[in-house]
Amino acid sequence: MKNSTLTLIFSIAFILIVSSCAEKKNHPFSFAFYNVENLFDTIDSKDVNDASYLPTSKVSWNTKRYNHKLDNISRVMMSMDSAELPALFGLCEVENLSVIEDLVQHPNLISAGYIIIHKNSPDERGIDVALLYNPKVYKPVSNKFIKPNIKSDTDILTRDILYSKGLVNTKDTIHLFINHWVSRWGGQEETEPHRIEIAKTILHITDSILRIIPNANILIAGDLNDNPTDTSIYNVLNAKEIQPSISENDLYNLSIKQYKDGIGSLYYNSWDMFDQIIVSGALINGKNGLKIMSPDQIVFKEDWMLYKPKKGEPRPSRTASGKNYYGGYSDHLPVMVNIDSDY
């Protein structure tokens, strides 16, 4: 009788342990970022310089071409993750809230039920950053638009940094930074100090977060207009390549190894990796509920997204340049990372 009782107790304990393990689910989701190359409407906005994308412009930006642009961008976005649309999607080079609303209501994307976080930035061209999120996966706790502290003799009107703090699957906190740093227009060396100042701004904020929460989940993404080994990112932001030993208080660049291997997200004379995803050590170790599923970001590139010149290698098929309309997708390739959520 005693042996039967012990056997029953052990059997119940085993069932409870197995049931507990069975109830523990992993729900992976993806974060993506895409510079959509001048997603402008056809309406003349008096407060921004949108003259290049109007029906009267050199490229004759009309409703047909605008709708074709939405078709192209949404096709790329829906194709990035074979399982489902990315739960979090950062964008840059969007003109206003209206064009983003048109995009998320496109038949290719409407199933995601995206909610938009956006604010008009002071950029003189009127191009902004935005974050789309699936409310079933992500719930914002606070959103801020941070003006970069750029020291200059002239006023630099550039994009705000979008900072969103929120919960993934109602449980795990993540800090998201969506960026579009000052471009190299006017020369790399001449404009580099501005990108360094933006890097300092982000570093100050992330350091403050990590001082309070040493294992905070932080994800920084965007078109940084510098490569992973350039001063602003490698030395100032101090975002380094993933090492065997990970510090939860450091930042790690998921694009640096790919860049060293000749992979990029846009092409001029060669491949550059301006579009990057940078994470805190906690997202690598997975000690705070979330963990990246690969040490390298995914650069999404399909043949149908590329232009094939007579000489040289294929590169991103863009929409327009100057007076020339090409009808492509974007001059950038999107990037993505898959994240495991333990709940």
pLDDT at 187: 87
What are the angstrom distances between the C-alpha of 208 and each of 97, 144, 211, 249, 277?
A: 31, 15, 5, 11, 20
> Residues 62-90: pLDDT tens digits?
999 999 999 999 999 999 998 899 999 99
Specify the 3-state DSSP secondary structure of 157: coil
Q: Residue 232 in contact with residue 222, Cβ under 8 Å?
A: no
pLDDT at 220: 98
What is the arithmetic mean of pLDDT over 21-32?
Answer: 73
Strand partners, 334: none
pLDDT at 20: 43
In this prediction, residue 151 has a pLDDT band, given cuts at 50, 70 and 90, of confident
CATH number for the domain running over 29-341: 3.60.10.10
- Tell me the percentage of the chain whose pLDDT exceeds 70: 91
Residue 18 has pLDDT above 60, yes or no: no
> Residues 171-185: pLDDT tens digits?
899 999 999 999 998
Q: Which tokens go with 271? A: 């491949």
pLDDT at 3: 53
What is the arithmetic mean of pLDDT over 35-43?
Answer: 97
Q: Which tokens go with 303? A: 């043949």
Close Cβ partners of 212 (under 8 Å, ≥ 6 residues apart): none
What is the arithmetic mean of pLDDT over 273-283?
Answer: 98
> Residues 282-306: pLDDT tens digits?
999 998 999 999 999 999 999 999 9
Q: Write the DSSP assignment of 94-125 as a string of letters.
A: E--HHHHHHHHTSTTTGGG--EEEE-----TT
On average, the pLDDT of the chain sits at 91
Q: Which tokens go with 209? A: 């977060």
184-193, 231-240, 265-274: least confidently modelled range: 184-193
What is the arithmetic mean of pLDDT over 1-21?
Answer: 47
Residue 9 has pLDDT above 80, yes or no: no
> Residues 320-338: pLDDT tens digits?
998 999 999 999 999 999 9
pLDDT at 154: 61
